[in-house]
Amino acid sequence: MSSLHHQNHLSDDLYILLDFSCGRFYTHHSSYLKDYYDFLSLRQKTVKVWVNTSADQKVLDLFGDNVSPILRSNFYSHTRKDRLILSLIDSMVNWIYKLRIPKMFRNWLSSYYLRLAVKELKVHLKTAPRVNIVIPTLDGLGLHFVLKVLKLYPSRVECISLRITGAERRGIFGFVNSSEIFKSICEKFPDKLHLGFEVKRYETKLVEDGISSKNIFWAPMPHIFRRPKTYLDKELMHESIILGFLGSARPNKGFDDIPKILDSLKANNIIFTALIQLPKFEWPEFRQTYNKLQKNHLNVVKFINSSISKENLDRKISSVDLIVLPYRFHNYQLAGSGILFLAADYKVPVASTNNLAFCWDIERFKIGFTFEDESDFSFKLKYFSKSSLQSNFEHYNDSRNVANLKFLRIA
């Protein structure tokens, strides 16, 4: 195992990283856990990672001996590793969700899913002088767990750092009134709760919901140094600008807008090569969009399989000149982008549709540009210079880490 996770002189503080929804490899759940794991380990913190019982070996290998697949949820635990009775219980819970079950019954069910996590926490509280809980992607069960911890062990937990994205509102265990709950527990435990926002608009929302600003922290994904990966591909060895439409394709990520973006570049005589990642699941318009790309841009488009390995996807990202995110405003007015942080780690500029929530990062730190439509994109690309933006990434990446030191209450 890398020396990264064999640090001498580890601190007495124990950091428990957890995500009830982390099971599949290289989703944003596992990648966010991994980045925070590396960030804490590099600062000589003792870290334990809890993931879902459905986690495959690839997920477990990310954390070596420091991971425990003990978290269960009704959506992610259907695997052959589970006993049949457990899978039947999960299926039953998913079925009765449609019946709009009473809140009391929902709370009883959540206790069933939390019991192993509470039991494991009790063990660590006996041995660690100070315990900190970090949830990079808070969902409904994660919030239920936090409430349980504050009820049972309020004086034993040093700090609870939660990155809020809205996922805690969804599903059978979701809290429609999550803002009221955050406000309540921050007032009751003002020195325990750190609520992290990924995009600035979410900060505004939390403040408008009446949550004290001293409990609110900017929490972008931490910057992890990633050595640029040499990517030699004969198909890309020419003088065109290399554009990356990367990240598994979906309608809300603007996949169906890519043909008109490329049409505009072609009409403006801009020489380019486009790496386009395909979707895991098709939607009604996908095949039509794919055929347009094949028909009009076959010689300049290179399709990337949706199941590409993390290592290979990283290599693609580090090799392009510009990551393009033509995301839809309706879906990303409060949501962030993991690809943006990964691109910044490799000092690759990003261009996105304007007015998205994460445009603040791009414009504030000048790590790319935003565009109104395909014509605006073509115009700005003519004057785009990757090299002129390189120094801006140092400031952005340093700012991300300084923010996370505060979010995690690390001196």
Give per-10-residue mean pLDDT for the chain (411 aa).
46 90 76 95 96 88 94 67 67 69 69 93 94 96 96 96 91 88 96 96 94 97 81 55 95 97 96 95 95 95 90 92 96 93 96 97 98 97 93 97 97 73
pLDDT for 237:
46
Q: CA 242, CA 193: separation in Å to the nearest integer?
A: 43
Neighbouring CB atoms inside 10 A of 236's CB total: 15
Q: CA 389, CA 365: separation in Å to the nearest integer?
A: 10
pLDDT for 388:
92
Sequence-separated (6 or more) residues with CB below 8 Å from residue 280: 248, 306, 307
- Strand ranges, E, within 188-245: 193-197, 216-218, 241-245
Closest CA to 249 of 228, 274, 232, 223: 274
Which tokens hold the place of 245? Answer: 């439409």
Per the CB < 8 A criterion, the answer to whether 369 and 384 are in contact is: yes
pLDDT for 6:
44
Residue that is written with structure tokens 């309608």 in the block: 251
- The H or E element spanning position 353 is strand 350-353
Q: CA 356, CA 317: separation in Å to the nearest integer?
A: 21
Report residue 245: phi and psi, to 5°: -100, 75
Q: What is the arrangement of strands in the sheet containing 350-353, beginning at the earlier edge strand?
A: 301-304, 272-277, 241-245, 322-325, 350-353, 368-371
pLDDT for 234:
44
pLDDT for 55:
86
pLDDT for 18:
97
- The H or E element spanning position 144 is helix 140-152
pLDDT for 239:
67
Which tokens hold the place of 45? Answer: 């913190």
SS3 47: strand
Closest CA to 159 of 10, 16, 44, 5: 16
Domains and CATH numbers, the chain: 3-219 (3.40.50), 234-396 (3.40.50.2000)
pLDDT for 233:
52
Residue that is written with structure tokens 């043909």 in the block: 259
Report residue 163: phi and psi, to 5°: -90, 120
**Kind of pairing, strands 46-52 and 157-164?**
unpaired
Q: CA 239, CA 250: separation in Å to the nearest integer?
A: 30
pLDDT for 170:
83
Q: CA 153, CA 157: separation in Å to the nearest integer?
A: 7
